Structure 1
Amino acid sequence: MGISYEDFLDREYEPHESDLCCRFSIEPAADMSWADAAGRVASESSNGTWAELTVDGSITDLSAVAYHIDEDRGEIEVAYPEALFEPGSMPQILSCIAGNIMGMKAVDRIRLLDCEWPAPIVEEFPGPQYGSAVRSELLDAGDRPALATVPKPKVGLSTDQHAEVGYEAWVGGVDLLKDDENLTDQSFNPFEDRLIESLARRDDAESETGESKSYLLNVTAPGAEMLERVDMAAEHGCEFVMVDVVTTGWAAVQQVRQRCEHHDLAIHAHRAMHAAFDRVPSHGVSMRVIAQIARLCGVDHIHTGTADLGKLENEDTVGINEWLRGDCHGLRDVLPVASGGLHPGLVPELLDRLGTEIMVQAGGGIHGHPDGTRAGARALRAAVEAGVEGRSLEAAGADCPELATAVDKWGTGTPR
């Protein structure tokens, strides 16, 4: 049989329940019609090629189908048959739906906007081990947002300094100390030393406060070394690990998820480098899809933005968070993390936009407090508890001088 680009376009096609359906925004090249461009996207991302082929027998059961074109919105929809994908391999799936098509000359721009994941594909992935349940199962946050902080400066502190900042933040009311994306195993703050000393100070903080505290330990590393760091975290009594999920790659995330299940550890996903894919609105892969991939691969929380309140560009934080909390063929939910330029004065608006089923992370908004880290942590905790209770910052500040000081310093404005 002969196969050409036209064979990958069928506007009458009704996707099967087992199809992976992807929505793209595209800008066809100047010499391409919408139909031609859509057919080429479906062809290149499945089993087509630029030359018309003659093949004995049928291979159309492995062909993607561009079944919807909306020129007004600049979008197309493509259905991929389940059999096209290796079960449980996120790298292979992405090589199809976000692979060569990102560089095709047939489109000037192309962006993977959203995916509808069918049950047969989802069931091949573990999903989160804890999800939002970490707030009560591993921490004492209950129904309020879990609170985390990164020591600042995020690199350059010695191990002793890092652990002491963690202690001050924990005692002040924060639940979690967190490494930042570029702190792993450098000479000024070695991984194992940092793990041991931070957990020792964590134990001190737990004894002093009577609350469960923990540490989001960055285990990001090449291959086997990362799994050894996961083992080390468990050996020393840490309940969480952190992975830079984009830079380390989805195959590595899947390996970490498997190892973490063995140790009953939760996974905190840092999204460093995500903007290389999602910042340009007309090209790449949306943060919504990155978050979906992370959920299937099994992270328990992931940074999704601050709904434009912080220092970073954001993309539909509310919609992404809703997807992470919603049903996905029985997978556990994911706890969204709001971070990047937050301080206590932004908390009321943040909770109004995103709700309380989140993790709130502040760095400079804690450690930059005029009275130090412990006071900054108290201010953030007071602001969050006030927001959950429906009290104003002014009323809460009357009971918490540290919060009043923070609001005097930063107000309710957004940093850049």
Structure 2
Amino acid sequence: MAIDWYEEFVDTDHTPGPDELVALYYFEPAAGISKEEAVGRIASESSTGTWTTLFTMPPRMRDLQAKAFEIEGNYVKIAYPLALWEEGNAPQLLSGIAGNVFGMKALESLRLIDASLPADYLRHFKGPHFGMEGIRDMMKVHGRPLTGAVPKPKVGFTAEEHAEVGYETWMGGFDFVKDDENLTSLSFNRFEDRVRAMTTMRDRAEQETGDVKSAFINITADTETMKKRAEMLADYGWNYAMIDVVVTGTAAVATLRDHCSDLGLAIHAHRAMHAAFDRDEKHGITMQFLAKIMRLIGVAQIHTGTAVGKLVGTKAEATVLADMVREKHTNAVDHMALDQDWGAIKSAFPVSSGGLHPGLVPDVLDIYGSDLVLLVSGGIHGHPKHAGRRHGHHAGN
């Protein structure tokens, strides 16, 4: 009897309407489960279904059922009526299309690849406050990538040492100095001390170069603490805040997007923990979908990998990812992305980082073009000439 119930969620004759949200999954059924039953269970669990057959179902509820409408090998597209999704609520969307479905015994594995969001769903989200052009205007940088570097080692510097390396970085021509993902407010480098020290060095570097200088200072914490840290950054004349967006979650990021916008701060989204979701090619959530959700919520830029550095990711993935955050319309790419019109949602910068050094930069630009934020860190700070140059530089002050 239960099999019949799941089959009600499969309709290969269905054509999604413009007001339906469509999700693309890769799936592998568990032993003894047919593909049809497996996709019916995904559609059921992520919409109105339950584990048992219900004999009385009001007709209006049938209208809310998701429909698996296209099965191609181990890929399935599922259409969802718009009424299933609360307006402007990204966590609720994830609860459906990326929730219980991952724990079902009927599936050996399941991967959410992408979801095409209809115009009526998008209009309840604000997206990025600035857009790429707004960021370029703010930083007075046009026609080239924005650049930044992370003081290395990741943690260990005092606030003053960190700011000292920051000053060197800015004087070396970089636009940004970036905290690492695990540097927040540690006993030897408190957030407040770092902000003050960095502000002094930023003002000096701006005075000496005549260029706008900024930093991605990491405010990651509980939501209320992040708000206070964002306020301190604004008080000290900063225009950015950095958040580890995967670990803090979509709810906190959405709250901080509004708070930061009110303060005139752009959000630099670090993707720490993303690989827990996206590294297994058969299970979890793709990076392009994580990036899409973060653009929807409204970050100014997000890490997308390099395709040539130390972290996993292919050139094709990097291109899809860059399009996902930058383009007004992203085209479907077989088994990697669905068609998406972004409407009034502004663009965000992809951030290329991870094992980059100057020799790899041309390869990165071949993939991304000039609309990106380029982070080169260990590849500079680990250079044998770096220590000598630093001491030499101090002699000139």
Structure 1 contact 172–374 (Cα < 8 Å) conserved: no
Counterparts in 2 of 1:173 and 1:374: CA distance versus 1, 3 Å: farther
Q: Deviations over 1:157-183 (max 9, x none)?
A: 001100000000001100001111000
**Matches of 2:343 and 2:82 in 1, distance apart?**
16
Give the letter for the 2:179 counterpart. D
Q: Is 1:193 equivalent to 2:193 in the alignment? A: yes
What's the C-alpha RMSD, in Å, of the aligned pairs?
A: 1.5
**Matches of 2:45 and 2:326 in 1, distance apart?**
33
**Matches of 1:138 and 1:176 in 2, distance apart?**
13
**Matches of 2:116 and 2:57 in 1, distance apart?**
32
Counting only pairs closer than 5 Å after superposition, residues 394-409 of structure 1 correspond to structure 2 as none
Structure 1 contact 220–244 (Cα < 8 Å) conserved: yes
User: Aligned match of 1:355 in 369, 374, 377?
Assistant: 369
**CA displacement at 1:354 relative to structure 2:** 1.7
Residue 250 of structure 1 corresponds to 250
Counting only pairs closer than 5 Å after superposition, residues 50-199 of structure 1 correspond to structure 2 as 50-58=51-59, 59-71=61-73, 74-199=74-199
Residue 21 of structure 2 corresponds to 20
**CA displacement at 1:92 relative to structure 2:** 0.5
Residue 379 of structure 1 corresponds to none
Q: What secondary structure does 2:269 align onto?
A: strand
**TM-score calculated relative to the size of structure 1:** 0.87
**CA displacement at 1:196 relative to structure 2:** 1.1
Aligned residues: 372
Residue 412 of structure 1 corresponds to none
**Matches of 1:273 and 1:293 in 2, distance apart?**
15
Q: Is 1:339 equivalent to 2:353 in the alignment? A: yes
Q: What secondary structure does 1:299 align onto?
A: coil
**Matches of 1:260 and 1:27 in 2, distance apart?**
42
Aligned sequence identity (%): 47
**Matches of 1:104 and 1:217 in 2, distance apart?**
40
Residue 8 of structure 1 corresponds to 9
Unaligned runs of 5+ in 1: 377-416
Residue 34 of structure 2 corresponds to 33
**CA displacement at 1:140 relative to structure 2:** 2.9
Q: What secondary structure does 2:184 align onto?
A: coil
Structure 1 contact 221–248 (Cα < 8 Å) conserved: yes
**Matches of 2:182 and 2:92 in 1, distance apart?**
27
Counting only pairs closer than 5 Å after superposition, residues 223-262 of structure 1 correspond to structure 2 as 223-262=223-262
Structure 1 contact 169–373 (Cα < 8 Å) conserved: no
Residue 396 of structure 1 corresponds to none
**CA displacement at 1:367 relative to structure 2:** 1.0
Q: Deviations over 1:47-80 (max 9, x none)?
A: 1011000235220222111111012xx1000011
Residue 319 of structure 1 corresponds to 320
Give the letter for the 2:352 counterpart. A
Q: What secondary structure does 1:138 align onto?
A: helix
**CA displacement at 1:375 relative to structure 2:** 5.9
Q: What secondary structure does 1:8 align onto?
A: coil
Structure 1 contact 369–375 (Cα < 8 Å) conserved: no
Q: Deviations over 1:296-332 (max 9, x none)?
A: 000000000102x100111501111012111111211
Structure 1 contact 24–112 (Cα < 8 Å) conserved: yes
Structure 2 contact 23–114 (Cα < 8 Å) conserved: yes
Moved more, 128-137 or 4-13: 128-137
Q: Deviations over 1:122-167 (max 9, x none)?
A: 1111100113225522213211000011101110100110000000
**CA displacement at 1:216 relative to structure 2:** 0.6
Counterparts in 2 of 1:235 and 1:264: CA distance versus 1, 3 Å: same
Counterparts in 2 of 1:238 and 1:254: CA distance versus 1, 3 Å: same
Q: What secondary structure does 1:102 align onto?
A: helix
**TM-score calculated relative to the size of structure 2:** 0.91
**Matches of 1:206 and 1:250 in 2, distance apart?**
34
Give the letter for the 1:147 counterpart. T
Residue 47 of structure 1 corresponds to 48
Give the letter for the 1:70 counterpart. E
Unaligned runs of 5+ in 2: 329-341, 391-397
Structure 2 contact 223–256 (Cα < 8 Å) conserved: no
Structure 2 contact 126–345 (Cα < 8 Å) conserved: yes
**CA displacement at 1:370 relative to structure 2:** 2.3
**Matches of 1:61 and 1:263 in 2, distance apart?**
43
**Matches of 1:374 and 1:203 in 2, distance apart?**
24
Structure 1 contact 205–213 (Cα < 8 Å) conserved: yes
**CA displacement at 1:371 relative to structure 2:** 2.4
**Matches of 1:17 and 1:375 in 2, distance apart?**
59
Give the letter for the 2:255 counterpart. Q
**Matches of 1:239 and 1:113 in 2, distance apart?**
33
Moved more, 22-31 or 132-141: 132-141
**Matches of 2:389 and 2:117 in 1, distance apart?**
45
Q: What secondary structure does 2:319 align onto?
A: helix
Residue 391 of structure 1 corresponds to none
Q: Deviations over 1:228-254 (max 9, x none)?
A: 111111111110000100000100000
Q: Deviations over 1:248-297 (max 9, x none)?
A: 01000000001011111100000000000000100000001001000000
**Matches of 1:349 and 1:5 in 2, distance apart?**
48
**Matches of 1:97 and 1:135 in 2, distance apart?**
32
Give the letter for the 1:27 counterpart. E
Structure 1 contact 172–375 (Cα < 8 Å) conserved: no
